Amino acid sequence: MAKNVAVVGVTGVVGQEMLNCLEQRNFPVGELRVMASERSAGKKITFKGEEHTIIEATTDAFEGIDIALMAVESAQSKEFSPAAVKAGAIVVDNSSAFRMDPECPLVVPEVNPEAAKNAPKGIIANPNCSTIIMNVPVWPLHQKNPVKRLVVSTYQAASGAGRPAMDELEATTKAWANGQPIETKVFPYQLAMNLFSHNSKIGPNGYNEEEMKMVNETRKIFNCPEILVGVTCVRIPVMRAHCESINIEFENPITEQEVIEILSKAPGVTILDDREKNRSPQPLDATGQGNIIVGRIRSDVSQPKGTGIEMFVSGDQILKGAALNAVQVAELLI
């Protein structure tokens, strides 16, 4: 059955990818309503070969919409999402506005698709991009052998901060190469030829907001409040696709081969692990791909009882980390 779909924030990188995913996955779209800020209203956008006029996103623009995909900031989502629900839509929200609301399921379709069936507020939250990229390969392992503890370091691309950040990385890299002065407006520090701790606010416990999202969201998605998660998030000078180094401590011993066998059958996972050629996941491998790419699978030598595994993963933050996951959630609704 066709569904009337609204994409809110359609001019942003995530909104654009949502449209691409709807088209590429042949989502049964009846009416498509594309929305953005007032300055973009009136512009044209193409979907399945047809032009659509962008309208201004307002609280009264959702009448007749079945599914609303939100690709806007949290403050805007808090304004538009309840309005869309009131008009009769189910919302899939990519912002952090409702992720930890107990009445809003937090869904990764490869992990907890059943959670999408119970959304009392009519809002389903998309997890943080880094959380999704970690959860997709860790979950199938957790099902076979419960995970006690995760220690994760992320290597996050500029795309995580949106198109302006991507443009700034390109401009500052060119400036560096040409020996010109480097100016930063989006990031607090120069990202070109540099890296720094993730540019989200640091809380009283010393962890920044991005790190705590991965901690709290994983516990909610896995429905496992006792799982231990330690995270360090870092911004690196890569345009697109995040990487993560993941150390896993299991309840019971597990071998490298067992991990490979589990992940080779896991939905949303591709293994790239060639020790002889020292070939493992890179951002360029993940860019434009829907799967999370996993490699460097090895036993943790610091855990002599055989309960530890190390691995390195890469995932497209804009696709599986945002737009694709949202469209997959929308597919669960039909």
Q: How far is CA 232 from CA 90, 141, 199, 226, in A?
A: 34, 22, 12, 19
| Pairwise CA distance, residues 159 & 58, whole Å | 26
Q: What are phi and psi of 255, to 5 degrees?
A: -100, 165
Q: Which amino acid is at 220?
A: K
Instruction: Name the pairing type of β-strands 55-56 and 196-197.
Output: unpaired
Tokens linked to 223: 């429905």
- How many whole angstroms separate alpha carbon 268 and alpha carbon 245? 18
Q: Write the CA distances from 315 to 271, 293, 295, 319, integer angstroms.
A: 12, 6, 12, 8
Residues β-bridged to residue 124: 92
Nearest CA to 96 among 70, 122, 60? 70
Distances (CA, A) of 122 to 65, 75, 297, 329: 13, 18, 40, 13
For 156, the token pair is 């996050």
State phi, psi for 227 to the nearest 5 degrees: -65, 135
Catalytic entry in 129, 142, 198, 233 = 129
Active site residue 242: yes
Q: CA–CA separation, 24 vs 214, rounded Å?
A: 29
Dist CA 129 CA 247 (whole Å): 18
Q: How far apart are CA 154 and CA 239, in angstroms?
A: 15
Partners of 55 in beta bridges: 35
Q: Collapsing DSSP states into helix, strand and coil, what is residue 97?
A: coil
User: Which entry of 21, 52, 242, 243 is annotated as an active-site residue?
Assistant: 242
H/E element holding 31? Answer: strand 29-36
Please give the positions annotated as active site: 129, 242
